[in-house]
Chain A
Amino acid sequence: TQLLEQSPQFLSIQEGENLTVYCNSSSVFSSLQWYRQEPGEGPVLLVTVVTGGEVKKLKRLTFQFGDARKDSSLHITAAQPGDTGLYLCAGNSGGGADGLTFGKGTHLIIQP
């Protein structure tokens, strides 16, 4: 069974601070995705990383896929209250035929 461990589970910081959340596994994934979920809503896809060592930027968010494709990180620069939400990483072992394996998420609160 493939597992994705996310850390920290909860994070509350002040507006303007930087933060990094992590997604780790002992398994190799062919691709890894990050989603953000707000209360009462479905997860929204932020990014997909495919190549080991890949770095993708989405405005103030930087996503990195580990060289061995077993882990990933999400770094947010100058966090804003609008970044508040549940951040989920999800991995696919290959072929898309197994659905996605999700981590339990990082609950992020950005205080004004």
Chain B
Amino acid sequence: DSGVTQTPKHLITATGQRVTLRCSPRSGDLSVYWYQQSLDQGLQFLIQYYNGEERAKGNILERFSAQQFPDLHSELNLSSLELGDSALYFCASGDSPSNTEAFFGQGTRLTVV
């Protein structure tokens, strides 16, 4: 158990809909990272938050957004969903913005139908 909690574990939704994925980092970790894993692209970095502030952006679509709350939990919002958004979404946490050792949650499997 990494100490990172993600909910829900599975999500099935229709095209055009909006969903919110939730992540609680390990106790004491201030950094939260979001990654998308698909069969053809592998693990892709989406966005990082550190202590409530956006720190870095990766390959995140404009239809996607995230935030980190004062209690350090984070949410990833995916809107206008397309079939191609079906993937595993992972949250990872770390103890500082410069230490890249990341501890991953079990992921949310999103299926868009």
Contact = CB atoms under 8 A, between A and B. Distances in A.
Contact of B90 (A42, A96, A98, A103): A42
Interface residues of A, number: 24
Best-buried of A44, A98, A99, A103 by chain B (most CB within 10 Å) = A99
Contacts of B46: 99
Interface residues of B, number: 30
Contacts of A48: 100-101
A45 B46 CA distance: 19
Nearest to A95: B98
Q: Is the interface of B mostly helix, strand, loop or mixed?
A: strand
A100 B99 contact: no
Nearest to A31: B100
Interface in B59-113: 90, 92, 94, 96-107
B42 interface: yes
A43 B96 contact: no
A99 B42 contact: no
A102 B102 contact: no
A66 interface: no
B56 interface: yes
Interface of B: 2, 4, 31, 33, 35, 42-48, 55-56, 58, 90, 92, 94, 96-107
